[in-house]
Amino acid sequence: MKTLTTTAHLETDTTSRVSLFGPTSGDEGFVSLRVEGEFVELSLIARPGTADALRALARAAEEAAAALDQIAKTTPDGDA
């Protein structure tokens, strides 16, 4: 992975989108996973052979969501 560190807050109106860019004569194709908010757009480009990295990211996102659910259950107003 090429490295870039940045911070952005996910908000309730954050959207995500997957786009497939099929193979061409000089390229094997790729998938773009975009996460978009009001002020930032993150685009992850995944080429064939990197599906396991995306699956690991999905597992980490599920873990983070479960942690947020737990926080919401333990706060008096249900909001983290």
What pLDDT, on the 0 to 100 scale, is given for residue 40? Answer: 85
Render the burial of 20-45: b for 16+ CB within 10 Å, e for the rest. Answer: eeeeeeeeeebbebeeeeeeeeeebe
Which helix (DSSP H) or strand (DSSP E) does residue 30 occupy?
strand 30-36
Q: What is the pTM of this model?
A: 0.77
What pLDDT, on the 0 to 100 scale, is given for residue 72? Answer: 92
* Percent of residues, the chain, with pLDDT higher than 90: 69
Beta carbons of 29 and 23 less than 8 angstroms apart: yes
Q: Whole-number mean pLDDT of the chain?
A: 90
**What is the mean pLDDT of the segment spanning 19-47?**
93
Angstrom distance (rounded) from CA 74 to CA 80:
9
**What is the mean pLDDT of the segment spanning 58-62?**
96
What pLDDT, on the 0 to 100 scale, is given for residue 80? Answer: 53
- Strand arrangement of the beta sheet that strand 15-21 belongs to: 15-21, 30-36, 41-46
